[in-house]
Amino acid sequence: MKSARIGLIAAALAAVLAVPFVLADGSGEKGNSAETHAAAASPIYGVTIPDGYRQWQLIAPAVEGAPLNEIRAVLGNDIAIKAYTEGTLPFPDGTILTKLAWKHVQSPEFEPASIPGDATTVQFMVKDSVKYKDSGGWGFGRFVNGQPVDEMQHQTCLGCHQARVKDHDLVFTRWAR
């Protein structure tokens, strides 16, 4: 009995002591630059954060008003950029699109200007016509601080993209000329 209790106390202590190490591994890091720490995959689709996405080319910026008030940038990997410049539809397998988003903040240095505040989400759409045949060929992933958001949020992705941009391979963003 007594040794069982000591065992319990030891286990509780070990759990408490382990917390700082979990927090210190960088997974709680904020912002869009936390890409390489995320090993976790999105629910439903199993999309992970691809290496080097922060270096991808810009397709277009976007802004959304209240209540989110965000500034966004949609980037694509090389396959995506080639498809955009050649006007290829549907997008070929291997295409990855990402949308980075930040809070929309007024510049403290020049009032009429807006600047990005804190990063909010990083989202991905990965094209694989076999693996994702039941969702129009696309896998979806939304990440906050490098970690995927819950399944409920991932249930919304396909519906909105499919309802509004079915004739553009479920992709909203057009090339900003």
Measured from the CB of residue 147, what is the shortest distance to ligand HEC in angstroms?
13
Q: Which residues of this protein are in contact with ligand HEC, per CB under 6 A?
A: 62, 64, 72, 74, 97-99, 123-125, 140-142, 153-154, 156-157, 160-161, 171-173
Burial of 2 from C-beta contacts in 10 A (0-12 / 13-18 / 19+):
exposed
Rounded to a whole number of angstroms, the minimum distance from the CB of residue 64 to ligand HEC is: 6
**Between residues 15 and 66, which has the closer beta carbon with respect to ligand HEC?**
66
Question: CB 3 → ligand HEC: shortest distance, Å?
Answer: 49
The Cα–Cα gap between 34 and 73 comes to 17
Q: How far is CA 86 from CA 62, 83, 90, 91, 173, in A?
A: 22, 5, 12, 11, 15
Closest to ligand HEC by CB, 23 vs 58, is 58
